[in-house]
Amino acid sequence: MNKAIELSNITKRFPLYDDRGSEQVRDGFFYALDDVSLSIEDGECAIIAGANGSGKSILMSIVAGLEEPTLGTVKTSARVGLVFQEPDAQILGETPQEDVAFGPRNLGFSKTETNLRVENALFQTGLSLKAGFPARTLSGGEKRRLAAAGVLAMDAQIIIFDEPYANMDYPGVLQVNCLFKELILGGKTLIILTHELEKCMSLANRFIVLYKGKKVYDADVSFSEDIEKWGIRNPLRKGLIW
């Protein structure tokens, strides 16, 4: 299989003016990411987990091109779309139709091509019937689907979801998981950043753990190690699988 993402020795550090007494501090720098290497194949669905401050969000910001690494190289095979934890932050249009059109229009697509992309993206995410609704009145699950429609309309083949289940009720979780299944069947590469493993582990074929800026685990979703030592709840042990 082809590699959708290839990260080699990614380091992200920030200057410090005080000593935090942390193992992530060296030579006056805080290492948010420390020599992380990994690759993800086309069509994979990977979960990246880690406690707060583990570096997962900044790593994916680097993959999406929103941040530059201090050291290391990033290679992606296609356009990357990032769906933020708070989908309201990505709503730029008054209606889903206007919102989804924003990206293709700014990429310079013609009006005809933009309209076609909007129509297809709303259909893929199950929002066609709400194309003209006020975007801010959508439910939490619908807003996440709208954010995904926006990146689909820009032809993103690699889609990153940052904490997609945050503040979401059960119907919203079902909506988001339905979207994930459709994207996987459509051949997209998905990366899900979450600590709520029980909600999506059945969808993924890869499980990666970051801890204090380092990659400490990279295997399938059998959780063959004690992941709780890295501050992650083990759904198999707790009986929390949805």
User: Which residues have a Cβ under 8 Å from the Cβ of 67 and sit 6 or more positions away?
Assistant: 12, 58, 61
pLDDT at 20: 60
Closest CA to 126 of 174, 86, 92, 170: 174
Structure tokens at 48: 């990246």
Q: How many CB atoms lie within 10 A of CB 89?
A: 9
**Can you say whether the dihedral through the CA atoms of 219, 221, 224, 227 is positive or negative?**
positive
The mean pLDDT of 176-205, rounded to a whole number, is 92
Q: Is the pLDDT of residue 238 over 60?
A: no
Q: What is the pLDDT of residue 35?
A: 97
pLDDT of residue 237: 67
- Global confidence as pTM: 0.87
Nearest to 142 by CA among 166, 174, 118, 175: 175
Using CA atoms, how far apart are residues 147 and 100, in angstroms rounded to an integer? Answer: 8
**Whether pLDDT at 119 is above 80:** yes
pLDDT exceeds 60 at position 242 = no
- Mean pLDDT rounded to a whole number for the chain: 89
> What pLDDT, on a 0 to 100 scale, did the predictor assign at position 226?
84
